[in-house]
């Protein structure tokens, strides 16, 4: 979103998400904000199961 010049919206409070009937069967996931902004990309070579990607 940032690369497209769009604003990052404020997070929706968890209680508000849980009140929505459409989300009752879902599992909320909290995603931490990156600690650094604009950090340099680093190439890594790893092997992971294909279903993880």
Tens-digit pLDDT profile for residues 5-27: 888 888 888 888 888 888 888 88
Is 53 among the domain residues?
no
* Count of domains observed in the chain: 1
Instruction: Categorize the per-residue pLDDT at 45 as very low, low, confident or very high, splitting at 50, 70 and 90.
Output: very high
How does the average pLDDT of the chain come out, rounded?
A: 83
Q: Which residues contact 23 (CB under 8 A, 6 or more apart)?
A: 17
Q: For residues 21 and 53, which has the higher predicted lDDT (pLDDT)?
A: 21
Is 17 among the domain residues?
yes
Is 34 among the domain residues?
no
For residue 12, what are the domain limits?
1-29
Q: Which residues contact 7 (CB under 8 A, 6 or more apart)?
A: 1
SS3 annotation, 1-53: CCCCCCCCCCCCCHHHHHHCHHHCCCCCCCCCCCCCCCCCCCCCCCCCCHHHC
């Amino acid at each position: 979103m940032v690369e497209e010049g769009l604003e990052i919206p404020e997070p929706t409070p968890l209680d508000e998400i849980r009140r929505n009937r459409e989300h009752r069967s879902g599992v909320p996931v909290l995603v931490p904000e990156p600690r650094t902004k604009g950090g340099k990309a680093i190439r890594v070579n790893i092997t992971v199961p294909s279903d993880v990607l």
